[in-house]
Structure 1
Amino acid sequence: MTTSPSPPSRLDRLREQSGHLIGTYGLLALTALLFLVFSLALPRTFPTHDNVSSILSTQSIPAILALGATLPIVTGKFDLSIGYGLGLAHVMVMQLVVNDGWPWPLACLAVILGGTVVGVLNGVIVEFGRIDSFIATLGTGSMLYAVTGWITGGARIVPSPQGLPTAFTDLYDSTFLGLPVPAFYVLALAVLLWLLLERLPLGRYLYVIGSNPRAAELVGIPTRRYSIYAFAGSGLIVGFAGVLLAAQQQIGNPSVGLDYLLPAFVGALLGSTAIKPGRPNAMGTLVAVAVLAVGLAGIGQLGAQFWVTPLFNGATLLLAVGLAGYSARRRLRTGATPAPESLSPTAPTGDSSPGNPP
């Protein structure tokens, strides 16, 4: 005679609910806690409008790049070319505007479209070449770095004494409602990706591909096509970040993009442990970038040495990977994986996204 399992006790339910709340909002609470701690330690410099504006401005490009890295990660793949692509994109903007005399809007549009093309090529190589995304994008990234060196000759692109057009530099330098405009770019991009991933069938299919590619194929989802879409979206975002980097630095530096690669992946991977624990998501990435921004700003104002920043980023990356793996395993244990038949492209698209089975 078999006995049915006993229902969970009230204490078990309380533990489950508290674990869910910590997983969902833990990073957000940590951001507030870090801000409070540094404000108490540095009352004259940290909790000020100028400092907040500086954090929002300097961390806008890493945040945009982290959101770009999130898209391929949703499908279970990595795009390691984003740092190299960022370097090439901002150099190309400077090359077209300074050396070739292009109007800056046309140059920016060409670079963003070029970034999209690079993303498509990454996706084609990964999907049709059947090459692991880690290796494939590392190879294409090295080629992008070579193109950057070929264009610049290893030297910086410096504008004329008249400088760059004011309208172009205002893309980064201007303010809105008393805050830097780049912060609103980040917010708008995060909301756009949230809508794409959480509210549209395209996002649902991307999540299915990332969680179980074989099941996605069985229900008729064209996995190759949607994976290429994810890489293309990442490339487009990288191109946009390159435009902002050119407007920020106002000089073409062929090696600057690599500095953004690690922070971008730290933000994207750490973001998969927040808001929607166990899966990459735009709002989680935004919260993760906020944690990193406040932490780096605080330790910088406390007088930390230059090597503390890469140490912080590296340690946080290891922590992010560990927490992301734990969140994914916990999500599987709680039975949050949807049945494949509920994810068929012909099925109703109400609220049957991965993690929210009907």
Structure 2
Amino acid sequence: MTPPPPPRSRLFARPGRGRAGGHLIGTYGLPALTALLFLIFSVTLPRTFPTLDNISSILTNQSIPAVLALGATVPIVTGNFDLSIGYGLGLAHVMVMQLIVHEGWPWPLACLAVIAGGTAVGVFNGVITEFGQIDSFIATLGTGSMLYAVTGWVTGGGRIVPGPDGLPDAFTDLYDSTFLGLPVPAFYVLALAVALWLLLERLPLGRYLYVIGSNRRAADLVGIPTRRYSVCAFAVSGLVVGLAGVLLAAQQQLGNPSVGLDYLLPAFAGALLGSTAIKPGRANALGTVVAVAVLAIGLSGIGQLGAQFWVTPLFNGGTLLVVVGLAGYSARRRLRTGITADRRRGSRAAPP
């Protein structure tokens, strides 16, 4: 005899449907928020916000924070934080100007030297964190303070200003030129995001980094050289900081010893907020790009609405507090979901 069908209310209460909805919200909620914010500001400011000039301005102004946020994402994957990125950015762009303006180096050689120096700083951060057994917060904060001291020593506390002939056009074009009608820096961000996505999601190195970040002891037990790969994560962060310093020098066209610190909070806000999207509960490159887009649209919109100058740091600081909470919640939710799934698989595999 065929049993009667369940009541209609139970047909729509299938197991996992609520979890699937929550997963979709966690994965695509931030991109949806990006589109919603753009729509709201476009309706509120129809003459200035949804224009090609404004979009180009957003892409140009937020390219360096986006690059720096992508650099901060890699150590976060391993459970570490690189607080030296703001100080490193300041030193990198000052060194580019110093080598070109005062030392007379060809600009390509100066850029390569600064990127290599940024990588070396990242390796140093990784070594003192992993082999010196110093917490990454303390280690990179101390390193950052040292980098700031070096910046002051190089500049003497003043700015590095080019001579009457200015900087080479090819160098300034690294930031000021366009491609396909869009600012070239936007394509740098896209290329870097794709490269980090491939590194973290498609290559064994990225998988090892995620394992280290989720359970370092388990990574040690399965034979993953956790210290070596953590140093590699810091090295990638340092390389990206060097690249961001080159772009900042091409943008500013002078050496300002204090400018790098302004990028620290936006970078971490983007990296941490990105861990709540696309791959909720873990830092990822695509989520970071989406997070930076949300922050950029929000800042541009409130700026055009006439916000005062102090709103920007207030927005960045408040956003950082919120996203740290969201990132922690996403990580705990991901852990609970994984534990529940493991228990269900174990119950199904248990003999009757």
Judge which range, 46-55 or 307-316, deviates more.
307-316
The structure 2 residue matched to 1:107, chosen from 97, 105, 110, is 110
Query: Within 5 A, what are the aligned runs for 1:147-186?
Result: 147-186=150-189
Structure 2 Cα separation of the partners of residues 8 and 334 of structure 1: 23
Identity of aligned residues (%): 83
Structure 1 Cα separation of the partners of residues 340 and 169 of structure 2: 51
Query: Per-residue deviation at 1:129?
Result: 0.6
Structure 2 Cα separation of the partners of residues 336 and 320 of structure 1: 24
Structure 2 Cα separation of the partners of residues 218 and 21 of structure 1: 34
Residues 237 and 338 (structure 1), Cα distance of their counterparts in 2 relative to 1, 3 Å cut = farther
Structure 2 Cα separation of the partners of residues 52 and 338 of structure 1: 43
Structure 2 Cα separation of the partners of residues 55 and 121 of structure 1: 34
Structure 1 Cα separation of the partners of residues 322 and 304 of structure 2: 24
Q: For residue 65 of structure 1, what is the amino acid of its counterpart?
A: L
Q: For residue 285 of structure 1, what is the amino acid of its counterpart?
A: T
Q: For residue 77 of structure 1, what is the amino acid of its counterpart?
A: N
| Bigger Cα Rg | 2
Structure 2 Cα separation of the partners of residues 272 and 153 of structure 1: 39
Query: Within 5 A, what are the aligned runs for 1:1-358?
Result: 10-335=13-338
Q: For residue 207 of structure 1, what is the amino acid of its counterpart?
A: Y
Residues 57 and 145 (structure 1), Cα distance of their counterparts in 2 relative to 1, 3 Å cut = same
4+ residue runs over 4 A deviation:
336-339
Structure 1 Cα separation of the partners of residues 181 and 205 of structure 2: 36
Q: Is the 8 A contact 1:331 1:337 kept in 2?
A: no
Structure 2 Cα separation of the partners of residues 85 and 157 of structure 1: 17
Query: Per-residue deviation at 1:10?
Result: 2.8
Q: TM-score, normalised by structure 1?
A: 0.91
SS in 2 for 1:335: helix
Structure 2 Cα separation of the partners of residues 11 and 43 of structure 1: 44
Unaligned runs of 5+ in 1: 1-6, 340-358
| CA-atom RMSD in angstroms | 1.5
Spell out, residue by residue over 1:75-103, the C-alpha distance to the aligned partner (whole angstroms, 9 max, x if none).
00000000000000000000000000000
Query: Per-residue deviation at 1:237?
Result: 0.2
Unaligned runs of 5+ in 2: 1-9, 343-352
Number of aligned pairs? 333
Query: Per-residue deviation at 1:12?
Result: 4.7
Structure 1 Cα separation of the partners of residues 227 and 184 of structure 2: 36
Spell out, residue by residue over 1:103-129, the C-alpha distance to the aligned partner (whole angstroms, 9 max, x if none).
000000000000000000000000111
Q: For residue 121 of structure 1, what is the amino acid of its counterpart?
A: F
Q: Is the 8 A contact 1:56 1:182 kept in 2?
A: yes
Structure 1 Cα separation of the partners of residues 26 and 14 of structure 2: 18
Q: For residue 290 of structure 1, what is the amino acid of its counterpart?
A: A
Residues 140 and 14 (structure 1), Cα distance of their counterparts in 2 relative to 1, 3 Å cut = same
Query: Per-residue deviation at 1:14?
Result: 2.3
Q: For residue 44 of structure 1, what is the amino acid of its counterpart?
A: R
Residues 12 and 81 (structure 1), Cα distance of their counterparts in 2 relative to 1, 3 Å cut = same
Structure 2 counterpart of 1:348:
none
Residues 163 and 338 (structure 1), Cα distance of their counterparts in 2 relative to 1, 3 Å cut = farther
Judge which range, 203-212 or 330-339, deviates more.
330-339
